[in-house]
Chain A
Amino acid sequence: AQSVTQLGSHVSVSEGALVLLRCNYSSSVPPYLFWYVQYPNQGLQLLLKYTSAATLVKGINGFEAEFKKSETSFHLTKPSAHMSDAAEYFCAVSGGTSYGKLTFGQGTILTVHP
């Protein structure tokens, strides 16, 4: 069984500040890990993913995430927040099965203040 926990349903930062969104996972097999972003009333857009290559993964819009097996974490960071980063972010885990089922966290809403 797999599960994902996102710590903090709401995160608020000032424009230009560091963004840190936390994700911890549980998986009985080597995981694939994903971060998606969702803007209001839209679908999900892939930010980045980890597939057992480099542990530091760079994604779109200046985001990156580091896979830490010992901590079962895959936290999402961005050095300097922009107003356009305001959205909901989802962490997800896949066990690499052929049907590729994704298990999602509850989501974290990021607010960026001027």
Chain B
Amino acid sequence: QKEVEQDPGPLSVPEGAIVSLNCTYSNSAFQYFMWYRQYSRKGPELLMYTYSSGNKEDGRFTAQVDKSSKYISLFIRDSQPSDSATYLCAMSAQGAQKLVFGQGTRLTINP
């Protein structure tokens, strides 16, 4: 079993829809939770990060962490075609030297 599981999709939704992307994990030591966005033919870029449990909002994006369920989510409101990309969750433990990535979900927003 992988430490981090993410549905690879692909996921296709109409413009303006609310998108929910999710990851589950098995390592209870994970404290830092990140979402990276990767456009086609580019490297991943950090989109949001959250420490421990709770929510974090940045514009149209909201990251949620539920440590009791070992489940994290990224919500995109009013989705735009420019949001079309692969979204990767990533996690690390306190003091960890490495990130553990999910498989990535390929998202397409249709105009």
A binds B: no
Interface residues of B (CB under 8 A from A): none
